[in-house]
Amino acid sequence: MEKHLGIGLMSGTSLDGIDAVLVEISGKYTETKVNVIDSLSFSFPKELREELKELCSPLTASLENICSMNMYLGKEMGKIVNDLLVKANKQKEDVLYISSHGQTIYHNPAGGKRLTAVPGTLQIGDLSVLSEVTGITAVGDFRTADMAAGGQGAPLVSFVDYILFKSEKYSRAIQNIGGIGNVTYLPKDGTDKDVQSFDTGPGNMVIDEVVTRISNGKENYDKDGKLAFQGNINTKLLNKLLDHPYLVIEPPKTTGRELFGADFVDKVIHMAGDLPSEDIVSTVTAWSARTIADSYQRFLEVDGNNLDEVIIGGGGSYNPFLMKQIKENLPEKNVYTHEHFGISSDLKEAVAFAVLGYHCLQGQYNQSPSATGAKNPVIMGKVAYTQPGAYKRVFSWRGN
Ligand SMILES: Nc1ncnc2c1ncn2[C@@H]1O[C@H](COP(=O)(O)OP(=O)(O)OP(=O)(O)O)[C@@H](O)[C@H]1O
Ligand SMILES: CC(=O)N[C@H]1[C@@H]2OC[C@@H](O2)[C@@H](O)[C@@H]1O[C@H](C)C(=O)O
């Protein structure tokens, strides 16, 4: 089977930065083979992170800044790709495509009341700029295709989870803990029609924002759960947080900074009153863990479905306090991280988007309707090439 080099780029809702991964890839769907060759991570400087946060809220976003940031991020993403090529000692001619998730700044799967307020989602980091800076074909803007077919536009990684983790022996929950938590449920010996997926709720987003506030911006996350370990979980605050209406909405459902961003953290800080700051960190971390465990019980382990294994990835898997809480809430499950299966928790989503982009270029479906709630399968992604060389490399290849 013909092998190619491709690059996956992930810039997630945590707004922590961009992960870039160079993969060798071949095949399609359950025959897909993907190996990581090299990777590079770029942390957003504080000012950029703050600007992006502003763009994620209708109260602080400006049209002018969104317009510029789309171009700016496209260029930055291109520079990261070029750095990765230097690191891996590869030329642009060696690489068939880049597949970029883009930076979500707004995600509104429910839409609004006005006639024109239909569901929408916006990922920025322009694909033409990315292609022009790198000389490589760029694929991206996946979520709108799923929404066009009536889906939530997320979670999309469930398609790749099915390829990587389906098992004849065990029912599995593949849990990502990024800014938001999302799960893919793969029942034992199930088909692609049995895949279920939804956002469980806050992952690290609320923890990160609380830490940013209490440290006056000196820290932006609770490294190794240090603050959470120093505090106590406050049951009263925890119970109030567990009343959040998102947690009982039936899947398919997705969420983001619109519900669990800075405006929500204002309310948490208010609810916490004069609690010591470490207790607030412990409590919101315990809350994230509970929302994950509770949603399995509420939505997955129903109708005779069971759950044997939980496989955790994303940055939250590096927070030992959060992991401890998850394990305590799931005493009868085997809880692993992606590393147990030879996959980096950090790079998994970037690899997943490399797989989605490769399918787009092959004209293959790359989405799971049962996971996103779409009416029908679609090929997600748009393709940009600004120079003939990039165009020729992709179109002289018939990836069938
Ligand atoms: N050593 C660590 N200790 C505690 N938390 C950590 C550690 N490393 C990473 N994290 C957490 O992981 C977050 C980043 O996670 P990740 O990169 O998976 O998110 P993302 O891809 O931006 O989000 P999403 O999957 O929601 O789009 C950081 O903001 C931080 O909260
Ligand atoms: C709109 C958006 O960017 N959603 C992200 C976010 O981060 C985690 C969770 O919420 C998930 O639904 C999704 O990302 C992953 C990559 C997904 O689509 O599978």
Is the distance from the beta carbon of residue 156 to the nearest atom of ligand 2 less than 6 Å? yes
User: Range with the lowest mean pLDDT among 107-116, 237-246, 390-399?
Assistant: 390-399
pLDDT at 262: 92
Interval between CA 320 and ligand 1 midpoint (Å) = 13
* Residue 209 lies inside a defined structural domain of this protein: yes
Does residue 398 register a pLDDT over 70? no
Angle between helices 348-361 and 158-165 (to 10 degrees): 100
Tell me, yes or no, whether 303 and 384 share the same domain: no
Tell me, yes or no, whether 60 and 149 share the same domain: yes
Instruction: Write down which residue in 318, 341, 364 finishes a domain.
Output: 341
Tell me, yes or no, whether 104 and 208 share the same domain: no
Q: Which ligand is nearest to the CA of 56?
A: 2
Does residue 118 register a pLDDT over 50? yes
* Ligand 1 atom with the shortest distance to the CA of 14: 22
**Summary mean pLDDT of the chain:** 96
Q: Which ligand is nearest to the CA of 345?
A: 1
Give the ipTM of the model, two decimals please: 0.97
Residue 360's pLDDT band, with cuts at 50, 70 and 90, is very high
Residue 400's pLDDT band, with cuts at 50, 70 and 90, is very low
Instruction: Write down which residue in 341, 364, 387 finishes a domain.
Output: 341
Tell me, yes or no, whether 181 and 329 share the same domain: yes
Specify burial of residue 188 (Cβ count, 10 A radius: 0-12, 13-18, 19+).
middle
Is the distance from the beta carbon of residue 316 to the nearest atom of ligand 1 less than 6 Å? yes
Cis peptide before 252 (omega within 30 of 0): yes
Interval between CA 351 and ligand 2 midpoint (Å) = 14
* Residue 369 lies inside a defined structural domain of this protein: yes
The pairing of strands 309-313 and 334-337 is parallel
Assigned token pair, 192: 């692609």
| Residues contributing to the annotated binding site for ATP | 12-19
Per DSSP, the three-state class of 382 is strand
Q: Which ligand is nearest to the CA of 14?
A: 1
- Chain centroid to CA 229: 26
Say how many domains are in the chain: 2
Per DSSP, the three-state class of 177 is strand
- Minimum CA distance residue for ligand 2 atom 4: 154
Interval between CA 75 and ligand 2 midpoint (Å) = 23
Task: State the CATH number of the domain containing residue 206.
Answer: 3.30.420.40
Is the distance from the beta carbon of residue 16 to the nearest atom of ligand 1 less than 6 Å? yes
Tell me, yes or no, whether 193 and 126 share the same domain: no
Tell me, yes or no, whether 213 and 142 share the same domain: no
Assigned token pair, 103: 């930076």
* Residue 291 lies inside a defined structural domain of this protein: yes
Tell me, yes or no, whether 149 and 162 share the same domain: no
Average pLDDT of the segment spanning 209-227: 96
∠374-376-378 over CA atoms, to 5°?
A: 95
**% of the chain with per-residue pLDDT over 90:** 97
Interval between CA 119 and ligand 1 midpoint (Å) = 27
Residue 396's pLDDT band, with cuts at 50, 70 and 90, is confident
* Residue 400 lies inside a defined structural domain of this protein: no
Average pLDDT of the segment spanning 248-276: 96
Instruction: Write down which residue in 312, 341, 370 finishes a domain.
Output: 341
Tell me, yes or no, whether 13 and 143 share the same domain: yes
Is the distance from the beta carbon of residue 292 to the nearest atom of ligand 2 less than 6 Å? no
Assigned token pair, 161: 């989870």
Q: Which ligand is nearest to the CA of 252?
A: 2
Does residue 395 register a pLDDT over 90? no
What would you measure as the largest C-alpha separation in the chain, in angstroms?
A: 65
Tell me, yes or no, whether 230 and 365 share the same domain: no
- Ligand 2 mutation target, pool 10, 13, 143, 183, most atoms within 8 A of CB: 13
- Ligand 1 mutation target, pool 107, 221, 254, most atoms within 8 A of CB: 221
* Residue 286 lies inside a defined structural domain of this protein: yes
Residue 327's pLDDT band, with cuts at 50, 70 and 90, is very high
* Residue 62 lies inside a defined structural domain of this protein: yes
Tell me, yes or no, whether 146 and 202 share the same domain: no
Interval between CA 354 and ligand 2 midpoint (Å) = 15
Does residue 234 register a pLDDT over 90? yes
Is the distance from the beta carbon of residue 318 to the nearest atom of ligand 1 less than 6 Å? yes
Interval between CA 153 and ligand 2 midpoint (Å) = 9
Tell me, yes or no, whether 140 and 76 share the same domain: yes
C-alpha dihedral sign at 281, 287, 104, 65? negative
Tell me, yes or no, whether 188 and 278 share the same domain: yes
* Residue 108 lies inside a defined structural domain of this protein: yes
Residue with tokens 């394990």: 327
Q: Rounded to whole angstroms, how far apart are CA atoms 18 and 37?
A: 17
* Residue 63 lies inside a defined structural domain of this protein: yes
Determine phi and psi for 78, rounding to 5 degrees.
-60, -40
DSSP 212-259: HHHTTTS-SS-GGGHHHHHS---HHHHHHHHT-GGGGSPSS----HHH
pLDDT at 208: 97
pLDDT digits (tens, 9 = 90+) for 163-180: 999 999 999 999 999 999
pLDDT at 1: 80
Query: What length is written for the chain?
Result: 400
Q: Rounded to whole angstroms, how far apart are CA atoms 366 and 355?
A: 8
Q: Rounded to whole angstroms, how far apart are CA atoms 166 and 169?
A: 9
Is the distance from the beta carbon of residue 201 to the nearest atom of ligand 1 less than 6 Å? no
| Residues contributing to the annotated binding site | 12-19
β-bridge mates for residue 23, sequence order: 6, 36
User: Range with the lowest mean pLDDT among 4-18, 243-257, 306-320, 385-399?
Assistant: 385-399
396 against 214, higher pLDDT? 214
Determine phi and psi for 398, rounding to 5 degrees.
-105, 95
Residue 302 structural domain = 158-341
Q: Rounded to whole angstroms, how far apart are CA atoms 301 and 271?
A: 32
Q: How many helices (H) and strands (E) does the chain have?
A: 15, 13
Q: Rounded to whole angstroms, how far apart are CA atoms 251 and 152?
A: 10
- Ligand 1 mutation target, pool 318, 322, 343, 348, most atoms within 8 A of CB: 318
**DSSP class of residue 373?**
-
